[in-house]
Amino acid sequence: MERDTLIQYFQGQGFEPNGAANYQQIALAPDVVVEHGNTMKAVVIRESSDSLPETMIQRFAGTKRIPSKTVEIYFAFPSKPNMKILTTCKAYGVGILYTNSHSAVEVYAESRQIKGRRPIAAIPKTQIFFSSKQQLDERNTAENLIDEQRDALKVPLFPMLVENDQQYSSDLRKLWPVICSCMDDCQYVLVILSGEYRRIIDRETRRALEYYDPEEILFYIKNDRETKEAWEDLILVVTQHNVKYTDYFDLRNFKSKLHQRVMKIIMKLHKDNGVPFLEDAE
């Protein structure tokens, strides 16, 4: 059987040749490989219809699964093979094509389908940098909330607290490089402004504005006069960078609003990585 004849036959079924296909999973080097969507057909052309070693049939039948593909394997003959070849190929699930008396391709037996599993989509590890160590109940609440959502929804979302880094130092001269290193390993930044002004948090926030997109900065400000006055200059800088900040009144209000924001991050991680979220999977 001529290679061009086979290709024309498959093109009539919507398949197109893939000359670049080089799948090690196919146990014999195919003469023709055609694809349509996720279906692949691999064909070995035989010059004779009278002989085909059973060991070769068995070997071809050992073709492995290819992820995301449904593979069909065929032997193609110049004429209808003898009964021994026909029955042996069918026994091993190998398809048979041959050229009939009208020079047309005919199918004696379809190949079994070797279905490969689709790769399981996964969400990469994602971290939220927490602005430097503060004695804030909000900070502890945020850490617990993220841990709870990670465990409940099985999503690899983690809080990054600089004081948990093995290089952490209370010496401010040594702390800044550690902060920068931690921030660079994170995809989001959480800033909480409450009470008195702290220079280190101001510095972290300004760096976050330079290195992160506005939607990657989670910015929370306690809604009282003391906090708004203490952080007036930084709040102005933040708004100039088009970063939206969220006011909160107390710890309960903070937790509720942060929970909503964390859930949006989790849903975005699912969407961006092709992983069905709980609502989509129902």
> What is the predicted pLDDT for the residue at 282?
38
- Of 213, 135, 137, 240, the C-alpha closest to 232 is 240
Residue 171 has pLDDT above 80, yes or no: no
- Of 30, 66, 26, the C-alpha closest to 45 is 30
* Domains in the chain: boundaries: 3-115, 126-281
Intra-chain end-to-end CA distance of the chain, in Å? 50
pLDDT digits (tens, 9 = 90+) for 185-225: 999 999 999 888 899 999 999 999 999 999 999 999 999 99
Beta bridge partners of 106: 98
> What is the predicted pLDDT for the residue at 281?
41
Residue 133 has pLDDT above 80, yes or no: no
Backbone φ, ψ for residue 163 (5° rounding): -70, -15
Mean pLDDT (whole number) for 104-125: 87
Mean pLDDT (whole number) for 75-89: 95
8 A C-beta contact, residue 140 and residue 256: no
> What is the predicted pLDDT for the residue at 23?
76
pLDDT digits (tens, 9 = 90+) for 250-272: 999 999 999 999 999 999 999 99
What is the model's pTM?
A: 0.61
Residue 119 has pLDDT above 80, yes or no: no
Residue 158 has pLDDT above 90, yes or no: yes
Residue 279 has pLDDT above 70, yes or no: no
Top-ranked range on mean pLDDT: pick from 36-50, 117-131, 163-177: 36-50
| CATH label, 3-115, candidates 1.10.3930, 1.20.1440, 3.40.1350, 3.30.379 | 3.40.1350
Domains 3-115 and 126-281 are alike in CATH topology: no
- Of 146, 176, 141, the C-alpha closest to 160 is 146
- Of 269, 279, 280, 271, the C-alpha closest to 155 is 269
Count of helices and strands (H, E) across the chain: 10, 12
CATH of domain 126-281: 3.40.50.10140
